[in-house]
Structure 1
Amino acid sequence: MDDRLESRLASGDATAVGECYHAHAAAVRAYLRRLVPYEDVDDVLQVVFTEVWRSRHRFDPARSLPAWLLGIARKRAVDHLRTRRPPTLSLDAVGDPAGRDGRVDVDELADRDRVRRALDELPVVQRQAIELAYYGDLTQREVADRLRVPLGTVKARTARGLHRLAALLPRAVA
């Protein structure tokens, strides 16, 4: 009988899953940290090893156990991210700041209304990026983390959105 961890796992040995966890959980956790928010890593890790237990009979001991584990981890991380909705900040939640003298300036309110209407014309992903950056006062890195998209995607969405806003808003006359 082959007493390697891979063979025992594939044959359904109940102790092999525990040993697999002790041997590979740190590597799987490190991999998941690159894919899911930090606070969700342990939850996804638990799902990964639950699936390892459920699908242990499908594992081929001739193949790489770490690669199989990371494949499961990637699939569960993607599933986890797809079920979460990114938090957004509504423009209605942002109060209107007072003018320099403490009162609300009517011209500023009209400008804000035009900007809000123009923002409503943007695709949702562009509007989210702009709202989080300008109204949520987040850096592009923070926007990327909040929306769970790459930094380059946030930069592209913001640039396209601002370009479109410039076309939608009438030029200010000095």
Structure 2
Amino acid sequence: MRDAQSFDEFYRSTARRMMRYGYAVAGDHTEAQDLVQEAFTRAWRQWGRLSEHPAPEAWLRLVVSRLANDRWRRLHRWRVVLSRSGPPPTAPAPSENGVLLVRALRQLPATQRQALALHYLFDMPVEEIARETDVPVGTVKSWLSRGRARLAALLPDLRTEELEANDVS
């Protein structure tokens, strides 16, 4: 318990300074939050040894700096890869039927949406969906049946063939 108390004190006394430092290093508030949170997480994991360190705050600043440098390197590598491969292809606009289907799906309960997506987009059999969602097979069949019925009611003008022929993504 004493370790938790001393870490809490360390955190309270350094968190604001570390956020300012993280912002200065990263140039972005959200990025700074991520860096500082990760640094404090690492400090907590090693608090037994770190609490004996002559300058734990300096250690924390070093971790924030290294994490920021790692992220900058990763970002730079991604930029190099993207510059070599060119911009991604332009995604086609969604079809009108696709937009209507997505709108209708959003009106279904999450369980029915999940079952329909797993069954029709991933071609998963009912038994596998039941295992993945940890529910009985009969429940999955019910979700699929109710979901299809609700979609049919929400989309009376769309034929099944039209929905299957259109990309919903």
Using structure 1 for the length normalisation, give the TM-score. 0.39
Structure with a larger share of its residues in helix: 2
Using structure 2 for the length normalisation, give the TM-score. 0.40
Structure with bigger gyration radius: 2
